[in-house]
């Protein structure tokens, strides 16, 4: 008989399941150690001709691998993202309301990131001028517009031009929607290709410690302690910005629209937050969020549309991250972006990141993709960001997850599909969530169940431990 996640779970001496450590924890620790070692090497063996500066190719190699993944990631996620839009739009008011809300909130998050980034000027005071990527295309408008159209349909995936990839993905996505049922097998095939691409990306991310070590050592060796201070400033500013966005913006909207206390809702989702922190991905908690939102009193149609759509299009934390990281790189390279350039660059990033919100490492790839498309001379600076990207991934995932939970409650209230009596009982701990309902939850499709079985099993082990 084939073993199931529950039968494979090892028990400790007391008969309780042992706490299984996810492999990403080891990567997390390796990145931390690599960053610390890189700082030490940079400070001890620094200088223009020092050993630390000679380690820069390690960071460049990692960035080259990330750039290799950009085109297939953008192609797959955009096509599947368009499919999600069409699906949401068919449900009428719920889908339209959800998409409108997500667009406004993502734009608002972008604005907050821009304001904070332009206030603190992250990256100033350090010198990354040698981490450049030479642009080969003309910057005039005519060449820019003609350069968007690829020579052939498939050359866009191999030329390295991200705008061409985006154009072909948009055309292919809408064409597949026009095909109706005949296009579903192709969409399913692209979903499988996307799974392969993200699996490769995860494998590449295991080289992040090496890339982080080389990039940090080289920059600290050339710049000194100022580089460490700048990185720490960016990380703290990002966390503070996410906290303000969650508590003030999301909490204020939730209270104003529904009268619900944000902290009660977050307490109800406490185990999901722990799961997200342990995996740095909000996707691990997707099936649990669906089940808990229905238990909270939101109707199944609202949950079934809002939650999956939000996972692809409600990227508040990612928007803030992309904004601040881009400004940091531009300032560190001595090429600050004008406001118009900032808006154009980040609008592209939000479009390009659709569908990849739950994948650890996809934020870094989206950052590289946006810079390569709009400001290729800044791509080299991504190697410096990788050293702290893993530290900021939890804040991104937690912000995205909280935004989706708040959106589900608010849209349920707007559409009068929210049972307030049930909501009050659940948030007041009078009707706790039954974990056994996760085993037979009807809104988790077969494909979703297959992707998240191991994650759900890990979650149950964490909860019982």
Residue 348's nearest CA partner among 375, 379, 310, 385 is: 375
The average pLDDT across 369-391 equals 73
The average pLDDT across 338-363 equals 65
Residue 115's nearest CA partner among 318, 324, 314 is: 324
pLDDT value for 227: 72
Cα-based distances in Å from 356 to 130, 313, 319, 359? 31, 9, 13, 6
Interatomic CA distance for residues 204 and 364, integer angstroms: 12
- Flag whether pLDDT at 434 surpasses 70: yes
Alpha carbon 286 to chain centroid distance? 14
Q: How many beta carbons lie within 10 A of that of residue 440, not counting itself?
A: 7
Question: What domains appear along the chain, each with residue ranges and CATH number?
Answer: 21-51+60-464 (1.10.3860)
pLDDT, greater one: 458 or 240: 240
pLDDT in tens, 133-176: 333 343 344 555 676 788 888 887 877 676 788 788 878 888 88
pLDDT in tens, 190-247: 889 888 887 887 788 788 888 888 877 887 887 777 777 877 888 888 898 999 999 9
Percent of the chain predicted with pLDDT > 90: 10
Contact indicator for 16, 465 with CB cutoff of 8 Å: yes
Interatomic CA distance for residues 342 and 361, integer angstroms: 22
Residue 64's nearest CA partner among 341, 285, 315, 365 is: 365
Average pLDDT, the chain: 74
Interatomic CA distance for residues 409 and 241, integer angstroms: 23
Which residues does 348 contact at the CB level (< 8 Å), separation at least 6?
Answer: 166, 370, 373, 374
- Flag whether pLDDT at 255 surpasses 80: yes
Q: Which of these ranges, 56-65, 326-335, 407-416, 456-465, has the smallest mean pLDDT?
A: 456-465
What band does 271 get if pLDDT is binned at 50, 70 and 90? confident
Interatomic CA distance for residues 438 and 285, integer angstroms: 11
For the chain, report the end-to-end CA distance as a whole number of angstroms: 27
Q: Which of these ranges, 100-114, 256-270, 359-373, 436-450, has the smallest mean pLDDT?
A: 436-450
- Flag whether pLDDT at 40 surpasses 50: yes
What is the token pair recorded at 376? 């290729």
The β-bridge partners of 298 are: 418
Classify the C-alpha dihedral 3-5-11-14 as positive or negative: negative
Classify the C-alpha dihedral 27-28-34-37 as positive or negative: negative
What band does 314 get if pLDDT is binned at 50, 70 and 90? confident
């Amino acid at each position: 008989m084939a073993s199931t996640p529950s039968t494979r779970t090892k028990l400790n001496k007391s008969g309780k399941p042992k706490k299984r450590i996810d492999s990403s924890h080891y990567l997390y620790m390796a990145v931390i150690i690599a960053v610390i070692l890189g700082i030490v090497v940079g400070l001890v063996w620094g200088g223009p001709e020092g050993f630390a500066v000679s380690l820069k190719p390690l960071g460049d190699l990692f960035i080259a691998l990330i750039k290799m993944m950009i085109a297939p990631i953008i192609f797959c996620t955009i096509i599947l993202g368009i499919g999600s839009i069409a699906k949401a739009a068919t449900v009428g008011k719920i889908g339209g309301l959800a998409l409108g809300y997500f667009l406004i909130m993502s734009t608002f998050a972008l604005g907050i990131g821009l304001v904070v980034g332009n206030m603190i000027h992250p990256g100033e005071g350090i010198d990354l001028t040698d981490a450049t990527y030479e642009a080969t295309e003309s910057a005039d408008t005519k060449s820019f517009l003609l350069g968007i159209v690829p020579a052939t349909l498939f050359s866009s995936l191999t030329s390295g031009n991200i705008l061409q990839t985006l154009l072909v993905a948009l055309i292919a996505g809408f064409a597949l929607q026009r095909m109706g049922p005949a296009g579903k097998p192709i969409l399913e095939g692209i979903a499988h290709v996307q799974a392969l691409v993200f699996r490769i990306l995860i494998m590449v991310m295991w080289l992040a410690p090496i890339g982080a070590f080389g990039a940090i050592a080289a920059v600290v060796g050339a710049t000194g302690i100022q580089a460490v201070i700048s990185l720490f400033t960016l990380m703290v500013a990002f966390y503070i910005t996410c906290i303000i966005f969650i508590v003030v913006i999301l909490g204020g909207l939730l209270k104003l629209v529904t009268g619900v206390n944000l902290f009660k809702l977050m307490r109800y989702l406490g185990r999901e937050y722990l799961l997200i922190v342990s995996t740095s991905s909000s996707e691990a908690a997707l099936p649990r969020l669906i089940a808990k939102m229905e238990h909270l009193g939101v109707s199944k149609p609202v949950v079934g549309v809002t939650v999956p759509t939000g996972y692809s299009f409600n990227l508040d934390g990612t928007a803030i991250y992309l904004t601040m990281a881009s400004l940091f790189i531009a300032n560190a390279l001595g090429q600050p972006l004008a406001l118009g350039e900032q808006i154009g660059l980040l609008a592209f990033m939000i479009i390009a990141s659709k569908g990849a919100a739950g994948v650890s490492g996809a934020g870094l790839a989206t950052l590289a993709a946006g810079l390569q498309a709009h400001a290729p001379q800044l791509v080299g600076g991504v190697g410096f960001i990788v050293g702290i990207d893993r530290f900021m991934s939890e804040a991104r995932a937690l912000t995205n997850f909280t935004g989706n939970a708040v959106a589900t409650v608010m849209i349920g209230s707007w559409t009068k599909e929210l049972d307030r009596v049930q909501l009050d009982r659940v948030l007041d701990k009078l009707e706790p969530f039954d974990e056994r309902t996760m085993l037979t939850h009807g809104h988790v499709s077969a494909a979703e169940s297959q992707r998240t079985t191991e994650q759900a099993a890990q979650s149950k082990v964490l909860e019982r431990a």
